């Protein structure tokens, strides 16, 4: 079975600082990996995804993540935090041979951005 572990339930950064949100996965077969963002009282919005190919994936709002098989990691980064980045971030994993996704989520990391 697949699983993801997000290290740190809360991460605090200053505006303009580097954002690093950690995600490690467990999967017996090559995984598909996702990062979602959730703003207050809203659903989840896809930030980026890794399926196959290039291991450095760029997403929306300046975020990117790198799939590292040797480290079983898919950490999310952004060079410079903005106040509007404050939200909850979820890493998710799936394996699929059908093209449809039964996502397994981590417990989430709340990003706090201070002025």
Question: Site mask, another protein, residues 5-44, x = CB under 8 A?
Answer: ----x--------------------------x----xxxx
Question: Residue 49 CB, nearest distance to another protein (Å)?
Answer: 8
Residue 80 CB, nearest distance to another protein (Å)? 27
3-state helix, strand, coil in the chain (%, to 5): 10, 55, 40
Q: Cα Rg for the chain, rounded, in angstroms?
A: 14
Query: What is the x/- site pattern for another protein, positions 78-97, by CB under 8 A?
Result: ------------x-x-----
When asked if residue 52 is in the footprint of another protein (CB under 8 A), the reply is no
CB 46 within 8 A of CB 34: yes
Contact 92, 109 (CB under 8 A): no
Per CB under 8 A, 100 contacts another protein: yes
Compute the distance between CA of residue 26 and CA of residue 37 in angstroms, rounded to an integer.
21
Which stretch in 20-28, 46-54, 63-71, 76-84 sits in contact with another protein by CB under 8 A? Answer: 46-54
């Amino acid at each position: 079975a697949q699983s993801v572990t997000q290290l740190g339930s809360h991460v605090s950064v200053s505006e303009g600082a580097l954002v690093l949100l950690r995600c490690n996965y467990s999967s017996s077969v090559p995984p598909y990996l996702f990062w979602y963002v959730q703003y207050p009282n809203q659903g989840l919005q896809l930030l980026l995804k890794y399926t196959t190919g290039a291991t450095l994936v760029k997403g929306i709002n300046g975020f990117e993540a790198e799939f590292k098989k040797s480290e079983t990691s898919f950490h999310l980064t952004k060079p410079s935090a903005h106040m509007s980045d404050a939200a909850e971030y979820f890493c998710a994993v799936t394996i699929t041979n059908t093209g449809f996704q039964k996502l397994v989520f981590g417990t989430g990391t709340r990003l706090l951005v201070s002025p």
